[in-house]
Structures are given as C-alpha cells and as structure tokens.
Amino acid sequence: MKKRIYHKVDSGHYHADACVIWCFDARFDDRFNKKELSLYEKFCKNHGFKKVDPVFIAGGVKALASPVDWWETEFVLRQIAKSVLLHDAKMIVLKDHVECGDYGRHFQSKSDAKKFYSNELKKGKKTVVAFLKSKKLKKFLKEKGVKRNTNKPVHLYYADFSGMHHIT
C-alpha cells in the first residue's frame, strides 16, 4: 500500500447541522471549478453549516417522491436514519433542480418547472416526515441503543440556473 495523498483529517466526532439529499448533477456542485464556490458550498456556507451528512444521488428527492423502485425510497430513508443515529442531524434538507436528467422532463416555462419540482419536494417531505415519526425509525434507534429526538425540521430547496429557492 502506498500513500497517495497526505491530509490531516479531524478525527473528532461531530453533530451534523443537516442531512442533505442532493442530486449528484455536478452543475449544482461544481466544487472543482475553483473560480468560485459551488452552489452546494454556497448553500452550506449561507446556512452556517459546519458539518453536513450529504447524500448525493441521481435525482435527489425523486427517490422519495417518485421512485422507480421501492428500494430507492428505503435506501434514502436508511441514510437519513443513519445520519440521525450517528450525527443527530439537526434538520433534513431536500433539494431538486431544474432540468434534472433523472426526471428527464422538459417544461414550457420556468414557472411550470418550478411548480413540478416544488410538488415533488413536498411529496418527498411527506415521506420523510412520516418516516421521522414512524415506529420503524424508533425501532432502528432503539436497537442501536440510541435515544434521539426525531422531530426534525425538513427544508425544501429548488435550484435553477440562477441560484436556489427556498420552497415553503
């Protein structure tokens, strides 16, 4: 084994400011383009997040709102459960974006797109809120011997090519 990269990693335990479900589309997290911070970095900075549990997956909230297979929802909910278990994430953030290839939908206008993705975010939120209140999550945490307040806020964000919108 040969060490390729030297980097001092802070080994301390942390509490997550958020568990963020974000589509892996690199246009919205262009962090290797060092001309400026990526949208994801700006979003975290803007919220004062120091530690985040990111779940970067194709389609982001689609797995929670309009999954092709049931296990996609289970997988993402399990990631949220682990973020709550391991880092007691303070909030859950769901993010969708315009022209998401995983949805493969095209809209006549910006407002049509925003409306569609806002609805998806709201559907995803319902799934997450139900899970946070569920016996399933309580059982999961109990089995691990951990007590957590699972009443976490779920925030919704929609990104287009001009930035990010908070959906209320």
Identify which of residues 93 and 137 has a Cβ nearer to Zn ion in the complex: 93
Among positions 94-153, residues that touch Zn ion (CB under 5 A) are: 100
Our CB check for Zn ion shows the closer of 17 and 25 to be: 25
Pick the stretch among 16-24, 72-80, 110-118, 139-147 that binds Zn ion (CB under 5 A): 16-24
Q: How far apart are CA 121 and CA 167, in angstroms?
A: 8
What is the Cα–Cα distance from 66 to 119, expressed in whole angstroms? 11
Structure tokens that stand for 8 in this block: 């001092």
Residues constituting the chain: 168
Rg (CA), the chain: 17
27 or 51: whose CB is closer to Zn ion? 27
Distance between CA atoms of 157 and 143, rounded to whole angstroms?
33
36, 35, 34, 27: which is closest to 56 by C-alpha?
Answer: 27
Does 23 bind Zn ion (CB under 5 A)? Our answer is yes
Shortest CB 102 distance to Zn ion, Å: 5
Shortest gap between Cβ of 156 and Zn ion (angstroms)?
A: 15
- Could you tell me the strand order of the sheet in which 163-167 lies? 52-57, 18-23, 92-97, 154-160, 163-167
Q: Which is nearer to Zn ion, 23 or 92 (CB)?
A: 23
Question: If DSSP codes are grouped into helix, strand and coil, which group holds residue 22?
Answer: strand
Asked whether position 25 contacts Zn ion by CB under 5 A, the answer is: yes
- CB closer to Zn ion, 84 vs 121: 121
Q: Does 57 bind Zn ion (CB under 5 A)?
A: no
Query: Where does this chain bind Zn ion (CB under 5 A)?
Result: 23, 25, 100
